[in-house]
Amino acid sequence: MTAALFTLRLFSDELTEIAFVPDSEFVEQDPLASNTYQDPDMWFSRPGKGVANDPARWQPAFAQAEPAQPRRGSAQAAEAEPRPAPAPAIAVAESPPRFAVFFVHPTSYFDARQWNASLDDEESQNRARLMVRGLGSAFNQASEIWVPRYRQATFGAFLTDMPEATQALQAAYADIEQAFDFFLDSIPADTPIVLAGHSQGGYHVTRLLEERIAGTLLQSRIAMAYPIGWPISIEHDLPTLGMPACATPDQSACIVTWASFAEPADPGQFFRRYAAIPGNDGESRGDSPILCVNPITGMLGGEAPENANLGTLVPNDDLTAGELVPSAVPARCRDDGLLMIGNPPELGPYVLPGNNYHVYDIPLFWKNLQRDVVQRVGAWQQAQSQAQS
């Protein structure tokens, strides 16, 4: 993965496409057997795995000693700028509400030899497991967490308009849809559902919302949706998803997402790909603003200081562990929908061109997200109780 992201930073858009987009024909995948997701090994996380074997159940600890801030520009600026007081560690409720999470992991396959990863590709599967540990674990207060393995589209499918890319994403979504059906059959009928994913996972979550949930009886069970890191056009995508954007932190049955950039941001490549993908309404997205719910405040748009950030997950070099650092980065939604996080924080080597912190969307605000989902599911349950009384 390090080599892949180094290539992204080094080369132009055209050369990057050559490096990552397969030049082979798309090979139609055989459908998975109808009972495939009955196998516990088809899930990175699911009930019965046990905490030690379930990456989404990982709980990072706060840094024991006050570390150097994982951010800032020049040494002179860091010395001159006063450090804010750490944010208080606001604990998640001792007894979180009961809810089930269906989480779709992001792209972990970067090979340009084929359009979809196979389930026995050890490198991408190990990488996906690490991603679930660092990202899916923000939802670890859930009573159930389900994270399926799937034949994901390769990274290059997001860099091209070739029809094979669409076919690869459709093939990956077919696996996700099948896993989602098994998830629905496996959880109690009265359990509220949280849909979550990052990047490619966020894309698949929006498809589930649009194609399987919006306007159906199932929608009444969806307490929250977090398609984080997948750009949603407020004008061309959001109206088809059946749920509004979250405007306040106590709102439920709504959508939270953001796309993180540090200063100075150069989002040209990001917006070129965004504009090239038609909206869910079939129209061009153009320069329509993307949805940005501030992960610190839980409100649509706006800004928050770094000392309101409850904990950024700062990973170690190989992403196998990390610790929570409070007051690490601020959050400000720009008019175009990008989430600005101030000067570039030092979180690792996986920053994309233009100060794009896409890989770190969830770790940047790990503790706030953990609290956010519990608070919103609690609000959803309260609203349900009031409606039934």
What is the average pLDDT across 372-382? 97
Residues 368/370/376/382 CA torsion (nearest 10 deg): -130
The length of the chain, given as a count of residues: 389
Residue range 51-71, pLDDT digits in tens: 999 999 999 999 885 544 565
pLDDT band at 111 (very low <50, low <70, confident <90, very high): very high
pLDDT band at 359 (very low <50, low <70, confident <90, very high): very high
Let me know how many helices (H) and strands (E) the chain has, helices first: 8, 12
Alpha helices per DSSP H over the chain: 2-10, 13-20, 75-80, 122-134, 163-186, 200-208, 268-276, 366-388
Residue 354 has pLDDT above 50, yes or no: yes
Contact indicator for 106, 97 with CB cutoff of 8 Å: no
Residue range 279-329, pLDDT digits in tens: 999 999 999 999 999 999 999 999 999 999 999 999 998 888 899 999 999
What is the predicted pLDDT for the residue at 14?
Answer: 52
Bridge partner residues of 102 (DSSP): 146, 195
CA distance 125 to 310: 31
Which pTM was predicted? Answer: 0.91
Residue range 80-100, pLDDT digits in tens: 333 333 343 334 446 789 999
State the Rg of the chain over Cα.
20
What is the predicted pLDDT for the residue at 74?
Answer: 36
pLDDT band at 388 (very low <50, low <70, confident <90, very high): confident
Contact indicator for 179, 198 with CB cutoff of 8 Å: no
Sketch the domain layout of the chain as residue ranges.
2-62+87-291+368-388
Residue 270 has pLDDT above 90, yes or no: yes
In which order are the strands placed within the sheet that holds 260-261?
260-261, 339-340, 331-333, 303-304
Handedness of CA 251, 206, 3, 341 (dihedral sign): negative
Residues near 80 by Cβ (< 8 Å), separated by ≥ 6? none
Bridge partner residues of 148 (DSSP): 43
